[in-house]
Amino acid sequence: MDFLQETPEWSKERSMDRKELVESSSSQNVNLSIASFQKRGAGEETVTVSLSDGSSFFMPLPLRDSWVPGKFLDEDDMEYLYTEDSYIRGREWAASRLALREDSSGRMMQKLQQRGYSSGVSRRILDDMKTLGFLDDHRFTELWLRERLRTHPEGRNALVAGLQKRGISGEIARSQVFTLVSAEDELQALDQCLKKFRRQKLNDEKLLQRLMRRGFPYSSIIRKLDRDNYGST
């Protein structure tokens, strides 16, 4: 479209309460129209739509056929404009965050909604992040389990609970833990914890309580304590 122009750099970081702006414009019964479109940098698939009142919104390409400079916008148009602007801003925030660190889809959904994005917009953003490979619960789970067992050994039940607390669904958490952490791995973790706690001169009752809080099965703890006590006599 030959009426598209480059967006000035200063406008790319402009922060606005988009919904408040839409509601304010609607309440004033102002007949807003499209003033211009501006490209958002090379390779971008979005444009900035400037309106006759000086406000601006981000929109994805391609635009609707009827969206040309001079078009008057009704309430449905403004709602669509707000939704798409919210989606683009949320998508860019999510991509920049996930580029820095892994996260789960559950926690990303929570963070998006805490920032004011609707459930529908948040789901669209998460779907995009998954398609682009920025968001992968199985990858997050594998990395977290590896680091957790290295720095804080615990039983498989505790690992499942830890993943759920971090936004992983119960089904994925349990499947990943019992696939990636074998019974032998759990026994090795139990042995590590027991050696650590024994240095604290704890009796068997306190050892049992500590190890159960770490998510180890009662039967495994008892067998381990019995073997150790038998072997020391």
Quote the pTM value.
0.79
85 and 126, same domain (yes or no): yes
Of the candidates 132, 158, 179, which is a domain's last residue?
A: 132
The domain in which residue 167 lies consists of 137-232
Q: What is the mean pLDDT of residues 101-112?
A: 97
pLDDT at 16: 41
144 and 124, same domain (yes or no): no
Q: Total domain count for the chain? A: 2
Helix or strand run (H / E) with residue 121: helix 119-132
Alpha carbon 232 to its chain centroid, in Å, reads: 50
36 and 143, same domain (yes or no): no
CATH value at residue 118: 1.10.10.10
- Contact of 126 with 135, CB cutoff 8 Å: yes
What would the pLDDT profile of 41-98 be if each residue is shown by its tens digit? 766 688 999 999 999 999 988 888 888 999 999 999 999 999 999 999 999 999 999 9
- E strands in the chain: 4-6, 34-39, 46-51, 56-60
What would the pLDDT profile of 117-147 be if each residue is shown by its tens digit? 999 999 999 999 999 999 999 999 999 999 9
Of the candidates 86, 116, 132, which is a domain's last residue?
A: 132
Alpha carbon 198 to its chain centroid, in Å, reads: 39
122 and 16, same domain (yes or no): yes
16 and 90, same domain (yes or no): yes
